[in-house]
Amino acid sequence: MEEVDEAEEPRGPVGKAFRLSAADSLSLGNAMCGFLAVCVLAWSAISQLQAGGEFRPDPRYFATAVVLLLIGATCDLFDGLVARKFRASAMGAELDNLADVISFGFAPAFMVVAWAGFSNKLPLWIVLCAAVSLLVAGVVRLARFACVKTKSGDFMGLPIPMGAMTVVSIVLLFEPSYATVVGIFAVAWLMVSRIEYPKPKGNLAAVVLAWIMVNVACLIIWAADLSGGDALIKIGASMQIALVSAIPLRVLMFKREQRKERKETGSLVG
């Protein structure tokens, strides 16, 4: 019995596994931002329903939730950089994935329900299917990321933070409709697809950070109901959707060009 008990004892640096690094703090900050975003949206719905009125998404609450998600995305962008620069804990990768599930999986899915579930423009089951597909795709995307590495080092499938921001753009830009729900299903499919998206490194990481900061500024201007806020939020959301749509099209065109070159090379050799 003693031999069995000894064999079942955990091995490895157990003490070190409970030490949080600076990168882990950023991952936890990401998770907290996602949780607070859900709380803001839930409070918006509960307060209006308790007042006896019909729930209508309040732009101020939605803007606050989106800013929180963008802050979470900034934490997610930097946690890997900090881990490589300083040190990573034994549970850093797991914390990162769990935080991403909350901020970029559950929170956007909840936002879809708050946006379209009470609108009476769509059957509730369709809205729930879209939200669930988004959540499930995000979980599968993160699990696959932990297990599968591409030869190029790029992301296989749409990264979950970018997927979340695309869903947010759809919610901010459009009214609930069958077409917009199809767009949400498309985002879920892109996350679990095999299309490779470039990994933000060096200058690209700086561009991504600048893009996030610009979006935060646009959201603040829009939420404060300042002049030009509506135009800014529409431009930013449209650019996000266009960016996510353009990458798969560029990949498909590149692959078509490669196939064409192979055929021409084969015909010349033959």
DSSP string, 208-270: HHHHHHHHHHHHHHHHTT-TTHHHHHHHHHHHHHHHHHHHHHHHHHHHHHHHHHHHHHHHHH-
Token pair 């899915």 in the structure block, residue: 109
In a domain, 162, yes or no: yes
d(CA 265, CA 270): 9
Run of H or E residues at 156: strand 155-156
Stretches where the chain sits below pLDDT 70 are: 1-18, 53-55, 57, 88, 148-154, 200-205, 208-209, 212, 223-225, 250-252, 254-270
Residue type, 171: V
Contact present, 190 and 130 (Cβ < 8 Å) = no
d(CA 86, CA 143): 25
In a domain, 83, yes or no: yes
The per-residue pLDDT for range 188-246, each reduced to its tens digit, is 999 988 887 777 666 666 776 677 677 777 777 776 667 777 777 777 777 778 777 77
Residue type, 84: R
Task: Look up residue 156 and give its two tokens.
Answer: 């296989």
| Domain boundaries, position 257 | 21-261
In a domain, 223, yes or no: yes
pTM: 0.79
**pLDDT for residue 7:** 47
In a domain, 70, yes or no: yes
In a domain, 13, yes or no: no
Give the sign of the dihedral formed by CA 253, CA 174, CA 188, CA 34: positive
Distances (CA, A) of 84 to 22, 48, 89, 100, 142: 11, 46, 11, 19, 20
d(CA 27, CA 36): 14
Distances (CA, A) of 68 to 59, 84, 197, 245: 14, 25, 24, 24
> What is the tally of structural domains in the chain?
1
Q: What is the CATH number of the domain that holds 127?
A: 1.20.120
Length of the chain in terms of residues written: 270
In a domain, 87, yes or no: yes
- Quick one: how far is CA 112 from the chain centroid? 13
Run of H or E residues at 160: helix 160-173
In a domain, 8, yes or no: no
**pLDDT for residue 1:** 46
Contact present, 65 and 41 (Cβ < 8 Å) = yes
In a domain, 12, yes or no: no
**pLDDT for residue 242:** 79
Token pair 């933070």 in the structure block, residue: 161
